[in-house]
Amino acid sequence: MPTPIQSSQPGPLSRSSAEKTKSTATANREWRCTRCQKLLGVRQDTGMHLRFARAHEYFVGFPVVATCRGCGTLNQAASTAR
Ligand SMILES: [Zn+2]
C-alpha cells in the first residue's frame, strides 16, 4: 500500500507586490472621507487614484464624486488642494 507523497513545497509566490507601503509624501495626497476619515483615494497630478477591492483600481479625472464605502457619505474632490 503506497503512501501518497505530499510535496510540500514552500511556494515563494509573492502576489501582493503592490502592497508596499512607501513612506513618501503621500499623506498630503490622501483623499479621505469627510465624515469617518476613511481613505477613498490618492491624489495624483493628473487625476485621482481610487482603490476599492484588491484588484479593482480606478483612475479618474477631476472633479471626483464618490460615496464612502464605510458610512455612505458623498465626498467630492476638486482638482487641486491648495
Ligand atoms: Zn465615511
Q: What angle do CA 36, 38, 17 make, to 5 degrees?
A: 165
Q: What confidence tens digit (pLDDT) does each residue in 40-56 have?
A: 999 998 899 998 767 88
In this predicted structure, what is the pLDDT of residue 17? 46
Q: How far apart are the CA of 28 and the centre of ligand 1, in A?
A: 18
Taking alpha carbons only, the member of 40, 28, 29 closest to residue 68 is 40
Q: How far apart are the CA of 47 and the centre of ligand 1, in A?
A: 21
Q: How far apart are the CA of 11 and the centre of ligand 1, in A?
A: 38
* pTM metric for this prediction: 0.59
pLDDT-based confidence at residue 80 (cuts at 50, 70, 90): low
Q: How far apart are the CA of 2 and the centre of ligand 1, in A?
A: 58
Q: What confidence tens digit (pLDDT) does each residue in 4-43 have?
A: 776 666 656 555 444 444 555 666 899 999 999 999 999 9
